[in-house]
Structure 1
Amino acid sequence: MPGRDLRALFSTNDRTLGAAEAFTNRQAQWEFAVAALAEHLRHVSNSAFDPEDLEAARDNVVVFHGIGGIGKSTLSRKFEASLADPWQRPAQWGAPAWGGARILPVRIDLARSASPDFEKIVLSVRLALAAIGQPLPAFDLALRRYWEHQHPWDPLEDFLNRGGLAARFGKALPQQMQSALADVAQALLLPGTVGSAVGQVTGALVGALRERRQTVRALAGCSRLADLLESEPDLDSLSYYPHLLAWEIARVPAEKWVTPVILLDAFEEIGDRTHRDFERLLQRLVWLMPNAFFVITGRSRLQWADEALQGQLDFTGSTAWPGLAAHDIPQARNEFPTPRRERQMLIGDFSFEDCDDYLARRLSADGSPLISEPIRTVIGQRSHGLPLYLDLSVMRFLELRRSGHTPQPTDFDHEFPALIARTLSDLTAPERHVLRSVSLFSSFDVALATRAAALPQQASAQRLVERPFVRETPCGLWPYHLHALTRATIRGADDQTDDRWSPADWQQAAIRAFAALGERWSGGSDRDRLLLVGCLRQGLAIARDYRLDLGWLTEAAWTYVGDSVWEPLDLAASSEREVEAATAADALVELLSALARRQHQNRSRTVERLVAVADTGLLPAELCEMAVYYRAKAQRDLGHTEGSRQGMQLVVAGGGRLAPNARRGLAHLSRLAGDFPTALEAAEHLGRAGRHHRVVGDVRWVQGDMSLAAQAFGAARAEAEEHGKSGEAAMSQAMRAFTLAFTTDPITDDEIDLGEHLLAQVDLRAAALDIRIAALLRDAGTDAGVEGRAQVLAAEINTSGLLFVQAKLELARAFHHAIRDDQAGVASRISRLRELTREGYYAYYVDIAHFMADLALDTPSRAQWLDEQQTVHQRWRSMVTDRRALLISGPATGAP
């Protein structure tokens, strides 16, 4: 049954409010722990198991680690309750499969608020074992001797009553210890009372053990008892006494036999990675009690399997703790014949459904959830699955009600400073400094974190990435990222910690982080697109949020657009809403986002966005030129040729980086108007920067000169590949495949395959559509579903707003109908082409459709062909007749 949430109950006068501790899911953690415990039980019940074996590997521990507030302590308490009483087990947790084995759970809180010390921990374990109902003389004698030496004026019984341990575990221990002492004294035939003679008893017992007397044969089986009783009774000796408990547990009669399950919670609070004195004592407890099972919960992974800790702890390395290593490791000894799975589990975030379930059950009124569904939705989304955020939101809900305000969803667009305090509580000052610095990044590595924090060594960053709120994606460019809620809270909440940063501190950190990204990009390979895009994404966000000058972003932006790959930048300003740019970084974010998104949205939307960004006046002249040029390209795609011409001329006049591209744009506009001689002449002066080979190919294919066109496109692809321009190479190959698809050349299939391969690496919608049209052309004249595929493709092209691609598709359909001598089909396509080219651009497509079907032109052609019109007519007609002859002489591509 769920417990009462006292904090919530004492936050309101409303006695009708139901407040229950809500426990949600965590089924995977339960199954993980139960499976490990079942394996442990099988191991200790084996006749070959020896609790005094100090060399065998240990696999008697599982670890649950996770970010502060993820619910580790709640999980630990629920484990204890479920093991102690099956009725307390959550409904979704399955029953454990260990038969009649008796489990004795004892949970020990290591949090500083619980004032833990090693004496209390050892006493807690022994007090729990008092439930067996019999003395454990070997341990009890050693403990009694230790206590009287260390606390001569503080009787153990008084200490247990004062500290609350007697109330929790009962008062049987002093009586059991006294009974053990009396039994040993009687066995040794010692005179008088033994209540204050522990020193005399232990001295006589050691002698008897050394002499192997028959009177102490019951204790003689513990081979190290005499050594422990002779050692100085200090804290170090006490840490070895658990060995005696393990020996005693192993010899408990079968009807009383139990398996202790010791739950150590808040393990991170016993020290740090420099001071491990307390951890060393606890590790001895775990190692020396191999027949007990330990469930450890804390913020970090347990490092005991790390060989580097040798000397700081007694037992280290993967051989000693195979289950704590990060991967399966075969055992050095044969007590476990198969490799064992890792025994450490990261406690993950709640799913959105779990968050909603938690909030719905936490507060109720008349049996219904008090927190409405819209509010639960907002809280669940902002929580990123962190239970502590849910808990804080519940208290905020009650606080708002207490103030007379009816909580609304907008009230929970809120950051909680308490999350910062929880996250920072066990970090060193340098680690806190690094944490704040890396909160500026969406992802990072140790070197980037160190540089952004301006630290001389990487040690603090290296320690930080091992924390549970730092997540790892090993295959990423930068492998680490902060838990989303941690990052948002560190950056957004009103930080009231002692070493909080001022606005000036944050500004300086942003400058450092921005510079670190620039250094990383400038130091990378010229062709490393992944690094470029990663630096751009993060650099743009930092520059925008902290109003930094563009700096290295300008050159990075030119590199980004130079290859026409168009990876998405995934920045907030790339949404469909109108963006009010306030800084140059805002404007650059919108510019690059518009250019990347144009591959996935109608070109008219691209024009709107580029007009808006150019009109802000925030961009430097060279980047404003970029907006003007790509706006002119989009206008050309839409058929707005006059606006496109004006934009291209403006860029040419400016003489900037895009002037060669704009000259190519003007050549394309001449080609679109049918002025082929002017376009071809312009191509001769464009050079590599102006993509001269591709311009020649674009002019040649409409002449029906497919051989020269294919050669030109092939040369364009080769030149692009030579200079590492994968986007240009893909576009050129797409047009080469499109050109050859009109012919009967057998290499067409290979050219289409190559085009698809190159396009898989970039994001170029128009070129991808060209390849699909090429596939239709290859199958033209057959029954391979050409018309059906064309109709699907037409719908997609219409969405994109790419007018010139629509005209290409209609030309391909006209080719298909001409091969099949379908005069009605040809007439329909000619009509559609006239509609698409009514502004006069691409009007020669209507002429080419006539040529294909060997029809006379209705009106004189306005195109200025490179050769005689009749020659062009004959070339296009020959391609139709050649395809017909091929289909008659050989099998069709499609089904008959």
Structure 2
Amino acid sequence: MGRDLRALFSSNDRFDASEAFTNRQRQWELVTAALQEHLRHIANPAFDAEDLEIPRNNLLVFHGVGGIGKTTLSRKLEMALTSAEHRPAQWGAPTWAGERILPVRIDLSRAAGTDVERIVLTIRLALAGAVGRPLPAFDLALRRYWEHNHPGEPLEEYVRRSGLRGKFAELLPRQMQAAVGEVVGALELPGMVGSAVGQVTGALVRALRERRQTVRALAGCARLADLLEAEPDLDALSYYPHLLSWELARLPVKKRVVPVILFDTFEDIGDRTRRDFERLLQRVVWLMPGAFFVISGRSRLQWADEGLQGQLDFTGPAAWPGLATREAPPAHTAPATGGSRQILVGDFSPEDCDDYLARRLSRDGQPLIGEDIRAVITARSHGLPLHLDLAISRFLEIRRTGRTPTAPDFDHAFPALIARTLSDLTAEERHVLRSVALLDAFDLTLATRTAGLTHQVGAQRLTERPFVDENPYAVWLFHLHGAIRTTIRTADDNTDDRWTESDWHQAAERALAALGEQWTHALAPSRTLLVSCLRQGLRLARDHHLGLGWLTEAAWAYVGDSVWEPLAPPAPDEPATDQGQTAADTLVELLSTLARRQHEHRERTTDRLAAVIDTGLLPNDLSEMATYYLAKACRDLGRSDDSRRGMQRVADSGGRLAPAARRGLAHLARMAGDFPLARETARTLGWEGRHHRVMGDIWWPHGNINQAVAAYTAARSEAEQHGVAGEQATTQAHLALVTAFADPTRADDELLLAQQLLNGLDLRATTLTTQIAALIRDAGTDDIEDRAHILRTEIDVAGLTAALQATLELALAFHHAVRGSHQALASVTSRLRELTRGGDYAYYADIAAFIGDLPAETSSPVRWVDGEAATRDRWRALVIARRAETR
């Protein structure tokens, strides 16, 4: 760590001024070099897997800002370590030979729902296939933990349900059972294999304490007896990796394997004030010195900080020598023994910015820059080291005047960033730079058009500058560094060629027009391009009060696919002016509401759409869009009269959504039980009104599965021909639902296809429909009611109770009918009658009665296409057929 002489000589005050930045590295070379060193370490005869006192250097940390590529790197490393064919050619071959490397990648993100149980199980599952034999010490402890904490839940069922699948997933339960069997045989305890694992454990502990010859194979594990005697809770589970480490160390040479465990998204396990999960995870690393760990996250690991004693079990530079050194080695060198194991992969994360600011200037070991000021600087910097340097300079300048710096002194961009950024640019490059500051991302064509130039050379030269980042996988390759972009847009620009407000407005108009041209004239238009153009275009129109132009057609294209990616552009860089809400603001709210309804209660959706309509700022066709989706939301909430009025208004207008509104009226007729009217309406709809899907919705309540399947199959084919991904997924989900009643085996395939079509889409109701279909497919099995209870809660949270709740109850009715549970069936039928008392979906209660061969209500408003008797016979036949299959 060098000395910051500029800061040191800026004041008469004596304070510590130190540099703290790290360098970037070639990550693959660092991994291979560190892993090679690790292999030499564990091959040393003096290595002891049970030694808890020697320092640990069995890890490498990659840290950097979000989106810089850490997860991609983690995945690449996993693949490269798995086999040579997956390793990029430029990475070069590793230098070790004859060693079996087992990469195990674990996603710690909140979305993955990872906990300590999943981590330990994932590692053991990977070893199940690599080792191919029981690991008795660990397996017996895990078996005891599992039976204590998951009574009645077989491990194999948990593995299946939790998604911990893999080609070796089935091996683990068998190996654990074999491990128990080995101990039972050694102790001569016949008949105790299986449920008596507690007795087996107790007998083993006594044998270990008594040093019996029969358990000499396990007696070498010094801490086994203590771990088996400890309360088998989550805390104890975090120590079980010690048993894994011992087992791996005593494997025969031919079976020996070195796990390389990659923990990704480390920042999601908590923060720097709550370290409970981190403490348990650190134990895994410490207690498996024979394994090598590659950890990726947004911040450095602080395990070498002695100030964390009490929060973590193993802290300080003596424990983690590789984490104590803050600088990474130069990119062309490998880390030396004991050298830095923390590698920066991009700009600083917020935590690292704060850490840097706190360390850069200090007095008596305490940060000179207060926490509130550090927070403002960090937010403004976007992780840019230059911004942090300028903020520190400003801090010192303010102190030199005799005034105490405050947080508001730093709530702005630094004009010096502009001067430094523009200092060596040509006039044309400066012009292009200001132009692309309006854009979230750009390519050469977009930059050139936004700048109003006729040639690309200026944009080409600009992209070679270090403050322009490149993402080869994005729609537009280039984007400005966040701090540079914000500064160019918002800081006072005192340069000679600065822009006026009119200049900025004209550039925004050119940028919006250029985005529209890219979308409308694309040789291969794609959903990704559409959404990207919309996001940038909506922000430009909103922030610069521009007309909607091509955004109207783009909005229709966005809605037409029914995919619903998030669209809300980021908040403006500058506070809103007093010019009032614009049509662009309203369109942003409309499209954001339609996307967010997949995650919000429908009540919230109706409020937001009503507010959009009330503004009166949208053109007529977009106002009809809001009206149509408001009517849909009302239908989901069971407000049929409000829905009918909205649908009729849109249908009468004859606009783009008129066919969809007529489909909505057909749905409302079906909901009311008037199937003949619904069928007559469906015949007039055509593809635009999704006629085949509407017919499928009519036929399956009649128990006419064959006609429903044919209708949904035709609907899916039409959606595929028109390239409407959302409609494909929706019709496939309905196809899986109806197939599940008649053919569970085929339903497996249909559900798999539905899940594939839903991948990447955001269709909450459709996703819930597939889960109901899975219940119907599994009717007659034991866990249906528990799964239904969870689904009922999800449906209620989504505000989709009107239709999906009734469908869920019907699935339960089918399940009880298959099992012959008459009382439970009667209870479900009663709930359905209560749910549909208002008249909508009353036919569900009738179907439940048909399923159970119960009398339907004489006052039922339902009008069946071919009469009640035929419908009853078809539903009873489905139940009888399923009973025969489940016997």
Aligning the two structures, in what range does the TM-score lie when normalised by the shorter sequence? Answer: 0.5 to 0.7
Shift in Å at residue 527 of structure 1? 5.2
Query: d(CA) in 2 for partners of 1:29 and 1:671?
Result: 63
Counterpart of 2:615?
616
Counterpart of 1:322?
none
Query: d(CA) in 1 for partners of 2:747 and 2:878?
Result: 14
Counterpart of 1:701?
700
Counterpart of 1:876?
875
Counterpart of 1:511?
509
1:548 and 2:546 equivalent? yes
Counterpart of 1:24?
21
Query: d(CA) in 1 for partners of 2:642 and 2:16?
Result: 67
1:173-188 mapped onto 2 (5 Å cutoff): none
Counterpart of 2:426?
428
Verify the 8 A CA contact 1:571 1:593 in the aligned structure 2: no
The verdict on how the C-alpha distance between 1:410 and 1:704 changes in structure 2, with shifts beyond 3 A counting, is farther
Counterpart of 1:91?
none
Verify the 8 A CA contact 1:697 1:712 in the aligned structure 2: yes
Q: Residue 471 of structure 1 aligns to a residue in which SS?
A: strand
Instruction: In structure 1, give the amino acid aligned to 2:668.
Output: L
Counterpart of 2:746?
747
Q: Residue 469 of structure 2 aligns to a residue in which SS?
A: strand
Aligned residues: CA RMSD: 3.0
Q: Over residues 504-549 of structure 1, what are the superposed CA-to-partner deviations in whole Å (9 max), with x where a residue is unaligned?
A: 1111111111111111111125751111111111111111111110
The verdict on how the C-alpha distance between 1:771 and 1:499 changes in structure 2, with shifts beyond 3 A counting, is same
1:486 to 477, 484, 487: 484
The verdict on how the C-alpha distance between 1:401 and 1:612 changes in structure 2, with shifts beyond 3 A counting, is farther
Instruction: In structure 2, give the amino acid aligned to 1:823.
Output: H
Q: Residue 412 of structure 2 aligns to a residue in which SS?
A: coil
The verdict on how the C-alpha distance between 1:403 and 1:874 changes in structure 2, with shifts beyond 3 A counting, is farther
Aligned length: 575
Verify the 8 A CA contact 1:697 1:709 in the aligned structure 2: yes
Counterpart of 1:476?
474
Q: Over residues 36-74 of structure 1, what are the superposed CA-to-partner deviations in whole Å (9 max), with x where a residue is unaligned?
A: 9xxxxxxxxxxxxxxxxxxxxxxxxxxxxxxxxxxxxxx
Verify the 8 A CA contact 1:384 1:484 in the aligned structure 2: yes
Q: Residue 15 of structure 2 aligns to a residue in which SS?
A: strand
Shift in Å at residue 5 of structure 1? 4.9
The verdict on how the C-alpha distance between 1:439 and 1:643 changes in structure 2, with shifts beyond 3 A counting, is same
Shift in Å at residue 560 of structure 1? 0.8
The verdict on how the C-alpha distance between 1:809 and 1:527 changes in structure 2, with shifts beyond 3 A counting, is farther
Query: d(CA) in 2 for partners of 1:725 and 1:693?
Result: 15
Q: Residue 685 of structure 1 aligns to a residue in which SS?
A: coil
Q: Over residues 557-585 of structure 1, what are the superposed CA-to-partner deviations in whole Å (9 max), with x where a residue is unaligned?
A: 111111211122242379xxx99971111
Instruction: In structure 2, give the amino acid aligned to 1:606.
Output: T
Shift in Å at residue 410 of structure 1? 4.4
Counterpart of 2:774?
775
Q: Indicate the structure (1 or 2) with the bigger Cα radius of gyration.
A: 1
Shift in Å at residue 668 of structure 1? 0.7
Verify the 8 A CA contact 2:7 2:17 in the aligned structure 1: no
Scaled by the length of structure 1, the TM-score of the pair is: 0.61
Counterpart of 2:382?
384
Q: Over residues 385-406 of structure 1, what are the superposed CA-to-partner deviations in whole Å (9 max), with x where a residue is unaligned?
A: 2222112223334555667776
Q: Residue 24 of structure 1 aligns to a residue in which SS?
A: coil
Q: Over residues 325-356 of structure 1, what are the superposed CA-to-partner deviations in whole Å (9 max), with x where a residue is unaligned?
A: xx99xxxxxxxxxxxxxxxx998322323311
Shift in Å at residue 414 of structure 1? 1.0
Counterpart of 1:194?
none
Shift in Å at residue 365 of structure 1? 4.7
Counterpart of 1:43?
none
Instruction: In structure 1, give the amino acid aligned to 2:497.
Output: D
Q: Residue 860 of structure 1 aligns to a residue in which SS?
A: coil
Counterpart of 2:457?
459
Verify the 8 A CA contact 1:584 1:619 in the aligned structure 2: yes
Shift in Å at residue 373 of structure 1? 2.0
Counterpart of 2:362?
364
The verdict on how the C-alpha distance between 1:617 and 1:19 changes in structure 2, with shifts beyond 3 A counting, is farther
Q: Over residues 296-353 of structure 1, what are the superposed CA-to-partner deviations in whole Å (9 max), with x where a residue is unaligned?
A: xxxxxxxxxxxxxxxxxxxxxxxxxxxxxxx99xxxxxxxxxxxxxxxx998322323
Verify the 8 A CA contact 1:25 1:354 in the aligned structure 2: no
Verify the 8 A CA contact 1:454 1:512 in the aligned structure 2: yes
Counterpart of 2:243?
none
Counterpart of 1:165?
none
1:787 to 785, 797, 805: 785
Instruction: In structure 2, give the amino acid aligned to 1:355.
Output: C
Q: Over residues 413-471 of structure 1, what are the superposed CA-to-partner deviations in whole Å (9 max), with x where a residue is unaligned?
A: 21111101111111111111111111111111111111211222111111111111111
Query: d(CA) in 1 for partners of 2:613 and 2:867?
Result: 45
Q: Which runs of 5+ in 2 are unaligned?
A: 34-330, 333-342
Query: d(CA) in 2 for partners of 1:818 and 1:678?
Result: 30
Shift in Å at residue 664 of structure 1? 0.9
Counterpart of 2:603?
604
Counterpart of 1:635?
634
Identify the range of structure 1 (466-475 vs 751-760) with the bigger mean alpha-carbon deviation: 751-760
1:75-86 mapped onto 2 (5 Å cutoff): none
Shift in Å at residue 782 of structure 1? 2.4
Query: d(CA) in 1 for partners of 2:710 and 2:497?
Result: 67
1:520 and 2:556 equivalent? no
Q: Over residues 741-782 of structure 1, what are the superposed CA-to-partner deviations in whole Å (9 max), with x where a residue is unaligned?
A: 111374322222222222214321111211121111111112
Verify the 8 A CA contact 2:818 2:879 in the aligned structure 1: yes
1:852-871 mapped onto 2 (5 Å cutoff): 852-871=851-870
Counterpart of 2:115?
none
Query: d(CA) in 2 for partners of 1:477 and 1:706?
Result: 44
Q: Residue 362 of structure 2 aligns to a residue in which SS?
A: strand
1:3 and 2:3 equivalent? yes
Scaled by the length of structure 2, the TM-score of the pair is: 0.61
1:443 to 441, 444, 451: 441
Query: d(CA) in 2 for partners of 1:459 and 1:492?
Result: 27
Query: d(CA) in 2 for partners of 1:819 and 1:863?
Result: 25
Query: d(CA) in 1 for partners of 2:524 and 2:615?
Result: 31
Q: Residue 856 of structure 1 aligns to a residue in which SS?
A: coil
The verdict on how the C-alpha distance between 1:660 and 1:480 changes in structure 2, with shifts beyond 3 A counting, is same
Query: d(CA) in 2 for partners of 1:665 and 1:404?
Result: 71
Verify the 8 A CA contact 1:9 1:19 in the aligned structure 2: no
Counterpart of 1:223?
none
The verdict on how the C-alpha distance between 1:871 and 1:31 changes in structure 2, with shifts beyond 3 A counting, is closer
Counterpart of 1:252?
none
The verdict on how the C-alpha distance between 1:29 and 1:739 changes in structure 2, with shifts beyond 3 A counting, is closer
Query: d(CA) in 1 for partners of 2:709 and 2:662?
Result: 23
The verdict on how the C-alpha distance between 1:4 and 1:689 changes in structure 2, with shifts beyond 3 A counting, is closer
Counterpart of 1:496?
494
Query: d(CA) in 2 for partners of 1:443 and 1:481?
Result: 4
Query: d(CA) in 2 for partners of 1:731 and 1:564?
Result: 10
Shift in Å at residue 870 of structure 1? 1.9
Q: Over residues 352-378 of structure 1, what are the superposed CA-to-partner deviations in whole Å (9 max), with x where a residue is unaligned?
A: 233112211233355422322233123
Counterpart of 2:736?
737
Counterpart of 1:137?
none
1:233-632 mapped onto 2 (5 Å cutoff): 348-398=346-396, 407-525=405-523, 528-572=526-570, 582-632=581-631
Q: Over residues 685-713 of structure 1, what are the superposed CA-to-partner deviations in whole Å (9 max), with x where a residue is unaligned?
A: 11111111111111111111111111111
Q: Over residues 771-822 of structure 1, what are the superposed CA-to-partner deviations in whole Å (9 max), with x where a residue is unaligned?
A: 1211111111123x32222222222222211111122111111111111011
Verify the 8 A CA contact 1:430 1:460 in the aligned structure 2: yes
The verdict on how the C-alpha distance between 1:598 and 1:8 changes in structure 2, with shifts beyond 3 A counting, is farther
Counterpart of 1:715?
714
Query: d(CA) in 2 for partners of 1:602 and 1:426?
Result: 53
Query: d(CA) in 1 for partners of 2:695 and 2:569?
Result: 38
Counterpart of 2:679?
680
Q: Residue 466 of structure 2 aligns to a residue in which SS?
A: coil
The verdict on how the C-alpha distance between 1:28 and 1:873 changes in structure 2, with shifts beyond 3 A counting, is same
Q: Which runs of 5+ in 1 are unaligned?
A: 37-326, 329-344, 889-896
Shift in Å at residue 490 of structure 1? 1.0
The verdict on how the C-alpha distance between 1:4 and 1:747 changes in structure 2, with shifts beyond 3 A counting, is closer
Verify the 8 A CA contact 1:744 1:886 in the aligned structure 2: no
The verdict on how the C-alpha distance between 1:873 and 1:503 changes in structure 2, with shifts beyond 3 A counting, is same
Query: d(CA) in 2 for partners of 1:879 and 1:473?
Result: 55
1:193-212 mapped onto 2 (5 Å cutoff): none
